[in-house]
Structure 1
Amino acid sequence: MLKVNLEDVKKAEEVLKPIVKKTPLQESKKLSEKTGANVYYKCENLQKTGSFKIRGACNKIANLTDEEKSHGVIASSAGNHAQGVALGAQMTGIKATIAMPETAPLAKVTATKSYGAEVVLNGAVYDDAYAKAVEIQKETGATFLHPFNDKYVIAGQGTIGLEIFDQLDGKVDTILCPIGGGGIISGIAVAAKGLNPNVKVIGVQTDNIPSMKVSKENGKVTTAFKEATIADGIAVKTPGDVTFEIIDELVDEIITVSEEEISRAILFLMEHQKVVAEGAGAVSTAALISGKYVPQKDENVVCVISGGNVDVNTLYRIIGVGLAAEGRRYSFSATMTDKPGGFLELISIISKNNANILNANQTRLSSGGAIGKQSAEFIIETFDHDHIAKIKADMKAAGFDVVDL
C-alpha cells in the first residue's frame, strides 16, 4: 500500500487554500496545432515564490508538532524548495536554515535569503546540499524538511493534480510532468490516478541525470549522473524511496530530453506562450516539441511548468543555445586570401542572403598559419538551417574556407 493516497492530497488542499495560488491553466494554440492534440500548460511558474514547491513545504510545516517547530527547520534544495520552506517558516515564525548547491542560480539564493532564511552553500548538485543539511541537522537538532521523500510534501504537490482536473472539468488524458527526486509527479500521480485510473502520467527527466528513469528500469532506487544540467531544479542523482514506490506503480512512462531540447523549449515558451520557465519547468514542453512524446489527435495533454526561477544571465546563455539549435543563430570562421576587398566580399555574401551580422571579428593569422591568409569570425542571425546551408554554400563557392564554431 502506497504511503500517500487521494485523501491525503484532499486534506492538503484544505490546508493550502489560504496560502497558495490556484495557478492558471493556459491552452497552447501553437503546440495544439503542431501536435493535433489539445495542449495546456499548468503554470506553477506563477505560483508564490515562482515554483510549486511552496505547496509541499507549507503542508509539511503545517503538520509539524510544536516541539518540532521549536527547534527550527532545516532543508536541502536546488533552490525552489528552499524558497518554499523559507516563506513557510517566515509565515509560521520559525527559524529556517537552507543548504543549497554552490551551482544554485544566484536568483534562487537571493530570493531564499529575502524570506529570512540562513543559506549554506555546498557542492555541485542537490545530493551534496542534502549531505550538508544532514550534517547541520545533527549539530543543531533542527527539524529536517525533505524536499520530496515525505508524505506531507508529496500530498502538498498533489494538489496541482486536483486543480488540473477541476480546471478541465475532469477531461484529462495525459499529464507530462518533470521528475527530479519525484515529489511533484508522485503527488500528481496519486491525485490523477485516484480521480481517474485511466489518465496517463508521464515523467520527463534530463538525459544528463536520468536517475528515476534508471531506477524504474532497474526496479529499485538507483543513482545516475552523467554531467550537470541547465535543469537545476531536477538535478537529483538519487531519487527517494517513497517517491520511487509511487512512481513505479502509478507513472506510465519516463522520457528523457537533451540540454539542447530543453533550451529550445525555454525559447519556445517565451516566444509563443509569453511564459518564462526555468530548465526544469520546460522539460515537459521539450518532450512534445522534440517528438519524444507524440500525443493522439484531440488528446487533452497538460504540461506542468514547475517553476520560473531562472537567473537572467543563465537565461541569456540558454536562449543563445536555443537559437543556434533552431538555426536562427550561426557562428563560424572564414579564411580568405589576404587582399584588399576580401572581407567586404564576405560581408556582401551575408548581406545578399538577408542575414544579420551580430558580431564580426577580423584577425590576421599568427605566424603559424598560412602565409597570405587571414581569418574572420562571425555570429549572424538566420532564418533556419536551410538558410545557413545556403549562406555556407555561397561562401565556399566564392573561395572562402568556412568552419562552424
Structure 2
Amino acid sequence: MRKILRQILTSRVYEAAIETSLDDAIALSAKLNNTIRLKREDQQPVFSFKLRGAYNKIANLSKEELARGVITASAGNHAQGVAFAANKLKIDALIVMPVTTPAIKVEAVKRFGGRVILHGNNYSEAADHVKIVAKETGMTFIHPFDDELVIAGQGTVADEILRQNPGRLDAVFIPVGGGGLISGMAAYIKTLRPEVKVIGVEPVDSDAMARSLEAGKPVTLESVGIFADGVAVKEVGKRTFELCDEFVDEILRINTDELCSGIKAIYQATRSIVEPAGALGMTGLLKYIRETGCTGKTFIAINSGANMNFERLRYVAERTMIGEQQEALFAVTIPEQPGSLKRFCHELIGERNITEFNYRLSDRGKAHIFVGISISSSDERITFSRDLSEAGYANSDLTDNELAKTHIRYMVGGRSNLVKNEKLFRFWFPETPGALVRFLDATRGHRNISLFHYRLQGGDFGRVLIGLECEQEDNRDLYARLAELGYTYFEETDNPAYELFLK
C-alpha cells in the first residue's frame, strides 16, 4: 500500500491534467434530502479522467520506450488521453479503437495527433488486435487500466476529493469498466478514510467487475453492451480486480433507462451533458438513495467523461422518463366504438398526463392502442394495470419490454384497408391534462378516429397526428368545430408522405 500511495502522491498527472472542481448539486440535494456533490472530470482537456493515468504512465517511460512511440486500445477516452499525452511529449501514438466508437471520440484522437485503426466491436477485440500490431511495430503498449502507473494516475482523483471535501463523506460512487479508476481511488480512500464507502457502478450488460468479485476471480463476459461504450469491457484487469476485491464495498448494476435518467440529473445540476459511461456514478448514487431511503448523508459521484455524440441525445431523452420511473408504457385493447376513447381517457387516465399515444384502425370490433402515461412511482404501474383490468380493458405493461420501447412504439400504424374517407391533420395540443378530452368533445359526432400518434416532446405544445373518417357532407361542420376548439392545426391529407406510407 505504501507503494501505490507513493505513486499517487508523486504522480506527474498535473503536467497535463488539471485539478477539477467538486460541485454541489444544490437543487438535487434539497429534493433528495442528502448532500450530493459531483467531481467534474468532464472538465479535463480531453473531457475525461483518462488523461491522468495515460499521461502518468507515458511520462515515466524510458527514453528508448518513448522513441519507439506508444500504442493502445481504447473505446475512446483512454485513446484521447494517450494521444494528448503523446502530443505533449512529442512522440508517436497509434490507437486501435472499436468500430462502434462514437465519431466524436475518433475525431478527437486525430485532432490530438494520434493515428487511428478501427478494429473489432468492443474494447476486448481491439485489445487483441493491439497485441499483433505492437509486436510488428515495437511500439510501447499503454494499458488503459491494468497498470500500476495508470491506476496511480487515476487515484489522484481521490486525493483531490479528500482535500476538497475534508468533512463528512459517506460514500463515493465511481464508474467501473476495466477498474483503473475505482481501484486507484478505492486504495487511496480506504487507506486514509476507511469509514467512507466506495461503491462502483456498472451497466447490467457490462458488469465484468461485479461478476468477477462474486466469482472470487476475474471472469470474461461473452458479450458487452455498447450504449455505455466507455465501460464496454469483457474482462477486468488482474491488478484492478485485486484492489477492488480488497477495498471496494459493493458494485451496483444499472440499466439503460436508469442511465439515461442519470444523464438528465447531471444536466439539471450542472448544465453539462456527460456521456453514458460518465453518468454511471450519478445513476448509482440516485439508485442507492432510492433503494435505501437514506437521508442526511453526503455523497459524491464521479462525472467521468463528457464525450457524448450529439445524435445520441434523442435516444437518451426518449428513455429518461422511464428511467426516472415517471412513465409507464401499456398496450390496451378498447372497443372500436364511439365514445370508448373518451371514456378511456376521462375515467381511467384521469389527471395523469398522456406521454404517448399510438393507434391505427385495424379492426371494426376492437382497437389496440400503445399508450404512455405519467406516473410517480413504479407501484403506480401496477395500480393502473389493475384499474384497467377491473374496467374490462385487456392490457399489457410494456415498460420493461425492450422490443416495445426500441421498435414497436414507432411501428404502430401503417396503411389500413378498413379506413374510408380519411382526413389527416397535424395538431399542436397544449401540454395540459385534458387536452385530448377537449379535442374529443369538439369533434364529437359520427367521426371515427382512424389514426392517432402523439409523443411528449418536452415543450409547451405537443405535436399530434390524427386521422378522422369524415363523410364529404360533414367537412364544413368539422372545420367549424376545429376553429372553435382553437388548437393550431395543419391539414395533411394531400401530403405525399401520407400517400406513400399511411393512406
The alignment partner of 2:201 has SS state of strand
Q: Check if 1:306 corresponds to 2:298.
A: no
Q: Residue 204 of structure 1 is aligned with which of 198, 201, 219? A: 201
Shift of 1:80: 0.6
Distance in 2 (CA, whole Å) between partners of 1:203 and 1:354 is 36
**Matched residue, 2:190:** 193
Given the superposition, is the C-alpha separation of residues 342 and 32 from structure 1 closer, same or farther in structure 2, using an over 3 Å criterion? closer
Equivalent residues of 1:266, 1:277 under 8 A apart = yes
Equivalent residues of 2:285, 2:299 under 8 A apart = no
Q: Which amino acid aligns with 2:252?
A: I
Q: Residue 79 of structure 1 is aligned with which of 76, 81, 91? A: 76
Q: Return 5+ residue gaps in structure 1 as ranges.
A: none
**Matched residue, 1:151:** 148
Q: Residue 364 of structure 1 is aligned with which of 342, 361, 365? A: 361
Q: Return 5+ residue gaps in structure 2 as ranges.
A: 399-403, 405-503
Task: Please list the CA deviations of residues 132-156 of structure 1 after superposition, one character each: whole Å capped at 9, or x if unmatched.
Answer: 1111111111111000011111111
Equivalent residues of 1:230, 1:279 under 8 A apart = yes
Distance in 2 (CA, whole Å) between partners of 1:221 and 1:394 is 48
- The number of residues matched between the two structures is 396
Matches within 5 A, 1:206-245: 206-225=203-222, 227-245=224-242
**Matched residue, 1:260:** 257
Q: Which amino acid aligns with 2:316?
A: I
In our comparison, the structure showing a higher alpha carbon Rg is: 2
Q: Residue 40 of structure 2 is aligned with which of 38, 43, 53? A: 43
Shift of 1:94: 1.6
Given the superposition, is the C-alpha separation of residues 172 and 94 from structure 1 closer, same or farther in structure 2, using an over 3 Å criterion? same
Matches within 5 A, 1:57-96: 57-96=54-93
**Matched residue, 1:315:** 313
> Which one is further off, 146-155 or 223-232?
223-232
Distance in 2 (CA, whole Å) between partners of 1:74 and 1:389 is 53
Distance in 1 (CA, whole Å) between partners of 2:387 and 2:170 is 49
Equivalent residues of 1:208, 1:225 under 8 A apart = no
Q: Which amino acid aligns with 2:155?
A: G
TM-score, length of structure 1 as denominator length: 0.85
Shift of 1:244: 1.5
> Which one is further off, 231-240 or 293-302?
293-302
Given the superposition, is the C-alpha separation of residues 254 and 343 from structure 1 closer, same or farther in structure 2, using an over 3 Å criterion? closer
Equivalent residues of 1:44, 1:305 under 8 A apart = yes
Q: Residue 123 of structure 2 is aligned with which of 126, 131, 139? A: 126
Distance in 2 (CA, whole Å) between partners of 1:36 and 1:347 is 35
Shift of 1:291: 2.9
Equivalent residues of 1:3, 1:151 under 8 A apart = no
**Matched residue, 1:177:** 174
Given the superposition, is the C-alpha separation of residues 63 and 333 from structure 1 closer, same or farther in structure 2, using an over 3 Å criterion? same
**Matched residue, 1:19:** 16
TM-score, length of structure 2 as denominator length: 0.69
Q: Which amino acid aligns with 2:6?
A: E
Distance in 1 (CA, whole Å) between partners of 2:367 and 2:33 is 51
Distance in 1 (CA, whole Å) between partners of 2:295 and 2:171 is 12
Q: Residue 140 of structure 1 is aligned with which of 121, 137, 141? A: 137
Shift of 1:36: 4.1
Shift of 1:68: 1.0
Equivalent residues of 2:87, 2:112 under 8 A apart = yes
Matches within 5 A, 1:273-312: 273-291=270-288, 294=292, 297-312=295-310
Distance in 2 (CA, whole Å) between partners of 1:297 and 1:331 is 31
Q: Residue 29 of structure 2 is aligned with which of 28, 32, 41? A: 32
Distance in 2 (CA, whole Å) between partners of 1:258 and 1:357 is 21
Given the superposition, is the C-alpha separation of residues 214 and 82 from structure 1 closer, same or farther in structure 2, using an over 3 Å criterion? same
Distance in 1 (CA, whole Å) between partners of 2:8 and 2:60 is 13
Q: Which amino acid aligns with 1:313?
A: E
Q: Which amino acid aligns with 2:374?
A: T
Q: Which has the higher contact order (CA 8 A, sep 6+)?
A: 1
Given the superposition, is the C-alpha separation of residues 226 and 31 from structure 1 closer, same or farther in structure 2, using an over 3 Å criterion? farther
Task: Please list the CA deviations of residues 55-83 of structure 1 after superposition, one character each: whole Å capped at 9, or x if unmatched.
Answer: 11111111111211122111111111011
Given the superposition, is the C-alpha separation of residues 88 and 32 from structure 1 closer, same or farther in structure 2, using an over 3 Å criterion? same
Given the superposition, is the C-alpha separation of residues 340 and 74 from structure 1 closer, same or farther in structure 2, using an over 3 Å criterion? same
Given the superposition, is the C-alpha separation of residues 220 and 363 from structure 1 closer, same or farther in structure 2, using an over 3 Å criterion? closer
Superposition RMSD in Å? 3.2
Q: Residue 353 of structure 2 is aligned with which of 352, 355, 370? A: 355
Given the superposition, is the C-alpha separation of residues 222 and 3 from structure 1 closer, same or farther in structure 2, using an over 3 Å criterion? farther
Shift of 1:223: 1.8
Shift of 1:53: 0.2
> Which one is further off, 265-274 or 385-394?
385-394
Shift of 1:48: 1.6
Matches within 5 A, 1:306-345: 306-329=304-327, 331=329
**Matched residue, 2:9:** 10
Q: Which amino acid aligns with 2:246?
A: E
**Matched residue, 2:445:** none
- The alignment-based identity, stated in percent, is 35
Distance in 1 (CA, whole Å) between partners of 2:196 and 2:386 is 50
Q: Which amino acid aligns with 2:120?
A: G
Equivalent residues of 1:8, 1:155 under 8 A apart = yes
Distance in 2 (CA, whole Å) between partners of 1:295 and 1:322 is 21
The alignment partner of 1:120 has SS state of strand
